[in-house]
Amino acid sequence: PILVIATRNAHKTQEIREMLGDRYRVLDVNDFPNLPAVEETGTTFLENATLKAVAISHHVTGLVLSDDSGLEVDALGGAPGVWSSSYGGEEGNHPKNNARLMTEMAGKADRTARFRCTMVLAEGGNVLANFSGTVDGRILDEPYGAGGFGYDPLFAPEGYDQTFAELGAEVKNSLSHRGRALAKVIAWLESRD
Ligand code: ITT
């Protein structure tokens, strides 16, 4: 079967594809010409994940899964949070996001943070269910590693001294907010079959 991820972020699609293995053929909106851009007007991960999954599921056949995610930093009052993608000023510009995060965190003693991911499954314009995952960790002073995407070079998950960008895809997927949310999606889909 096919699962369409309601994302334009190819890194999300790649991680989900790795974790789903041969359970589904994983596509995303980049594989469909002429899909409308979805405006993320919500103020929560659940609202934005719902907007993306419902909108795309009106245009494609079968199951659609969205992923709205972000980084919450305690010393910054939970920022960048829902606005993680445009924190550095330009939507999806990861180097600028990381540069701003480093600047804002300079000299801060409290380094605790977490990634959050909310996923919504939809079909034919209807929400089937939603799922969330989080991973706690801390923000380092400077970036380390070349794997992953986004804030991964600045984020070390709890129990590790290395960042998600250093740990590699297998370790990241086994601990990450996305991996934890997706494990719940898989369990839900299997219990439904
Ligand atoms: P779509 O809306 O098309 O799915 P997006 O990247 O804009 O793509 P979001 O609005 O959910 O998605 O923003 C998520 C941002 O949070 C993302 O751009 C990264 O900056 C950050 N982020 C999410 N998951 C991450 C991860 O696993 N590692 C590093 N950064 C992550």
CA of 25 to the centre of ligand 1 (A): 22
ipTM of the complex as predicted: 0.99
Residue extents of the structural domains in the chain = 2-192
184 among annotated binding-site residues: no
Per-residue pLDDT tens digits for 67-109? 999 999 999 999 999 999 999 999 999 999 999 999 999 999 9
**Token pair in block for residue 138:** 């801390």
Which residue lies with its CA nearest to atom 19 of ligand 1? Answer: 150
What are φ and ψ of residue 176, in 5° steps? -75, 160
Name 22's Cβ contacts closer than 8 Å, sequence gap at least 6. none
Res 193: pLDDT: 74
Q: Is the CB of 8 under 6 A from ligand 1?
A: yes
CA of 58 to the centre of ligand 1 (A): 23
Angle CA 191–171–115, to nearest 5 = 75
What dotted CATH number matches 2-192?
3.90.950.10
Per-residue pLDDT tens digits for 126-168? 999 999 999 999 999 999 999 999 999 999 999 999 999 999 9
Q: Is the CB of 150 under 6 A from ligand 1?
A: yes
- In the chain, the percentage of residues whose pLDDT exceeds 90 is 98
Say if pTM beats, i.e. exceeds, 0.90: yes
Whole-number mean pLDDT of the chain? 97
